């Protein structure tokens, strides 16, 4: 995954932050006007990358929202950003195969990339799309 190249191309700056409130739910914030993505520096690298991909998903989709706390108001935009992240990871995952795999272990994929299990159906849909399964 060349998200670093994408960040450069988009002119986005990524800054780590360290939450002082342990109850903070926010792991990623992006400011579209300034093109700055803040990522929770306490997370493991692979999880920080997921957050960056999610925020890039917002940016590329043109969302004007900067706080990714889970709520129902912006659930459509959150889904769009999550799908961008999952698709980027799925493409990265498929690069490790010489040929299209006949079967993808979705649970194993989610575990490998530290993606939350609630995105199982989304990941399944993304792989079907990428692999052009007939059903």
Q: Which residues bind Zn ion (CB under 5 A)?
A: 68, 78, 81
Our CB check for Zn ion shows the closer of 56 and 81 to be: 81
Our CB check for Zn ion shows the closer of 28 and 106 to be: 28
Closest approach of Cβ 69 to Zn ion, in Å?
A: 9
Do the beta carbons of residue 61 and residue 90 sit within 8 Å?
Answer: no
Our CB check for Zn ion shows the closer of 87 and 104 to be: 87
Closest approach of Cβ 29 to Zn ion, in Å?
A: 9
133: left (phi over 0), alpha (psi -120 to 50) or beta: beta
Residue of minimal Cβ distance to Zn ion: 68
Closest approach of Cβ 74 to Zn ion, in Å?
A: 7
Instruction: Give how far Cα 100 sits from Cα of 24, 69, 91, 97, 134, Å.
Output: 40, 36, 11, 7, 14
Do the beta carbons of residue 22 and residue 30 sit within 8 Å?
Answer: no
Our CB check for Zn ion shows the closer of 78 and 123 to be: 78
Structure token pair of residue 92: 């990265």
For residues 12 and 6, what is the distance between their CA atoms, to the nearest angstrom?
Answer: 8
Closest approach of Cβ 28 to Zn ion, in Å?
A: 7
């Amino acid at each position: 995954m060349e998200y670093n190249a994408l960040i450069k191309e988009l002119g986005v700056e990524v800054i780590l932050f360290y939450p002082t409130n342990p109850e903070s739910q926010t792991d990623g914030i992006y400011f579209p006007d300034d093109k700055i993505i803040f990522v929770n520096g306490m997370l493991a690298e692979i999880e920080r990358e997921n957050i960056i991909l999610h925020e890039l998903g917002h940016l590329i989709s043109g969302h004007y929202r900067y706080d990714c706390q889970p709520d129902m108001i912006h659930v459509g935009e959150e889904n769009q950003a999550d799908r961008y992240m999952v698709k980027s990871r799925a493409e990265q995952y498929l690069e490790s195969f010489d040929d299209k795999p006949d079967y993808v272990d979705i649970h194993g994929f989610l575990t490998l990339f530290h993606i939350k299990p609630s995105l199982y159906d989304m990941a399944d849909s993304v792989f079907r799309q990428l692999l052009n399964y007939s059903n």
